Amino acid sequence: MTLVLSENNSIVINIKNAYQEGVIGKLISLGAILNLIVFYFFLNKKQDLRAKGVLFTTIILAILTLILKP
């Protein structure tokens, strides 16, 4: 999403800019919310292992948000 809205083509530059501006936590949280949609999709399709992977990733992102939030 940040690649679409910014002038830079490098994801590393966009992540650094988001961290410096203090919005990295918000971006990670937005991604975690989108993961919940994918999680419920996999549960409805009876793909429990994929749903478990999405849930694990979401938990890791939540922990990362707590660590990086200034």
pLDDT in tens, 11-58: 778 778 878 888 877 887 787 788 888 999 999 999 999 999 999 988
Q: How sure is the predictor about 1, in pLDDT bands with cuts at 50, 70 and 90?
A: very low
**Exposed, middle or buried: residue 42 (CB in 10 Å: 0-12, 13-18, 19+)?**
middle
| Average pLDDT score over the chain | 80
pLDDT in tens, 48-68: 999 999 999 888 878 877 787
pLDDT at residue number 6:
58
Q: CA 7 to CA 52: how far, in whole Å? A: 35
State both tokens at 6: 């910014």
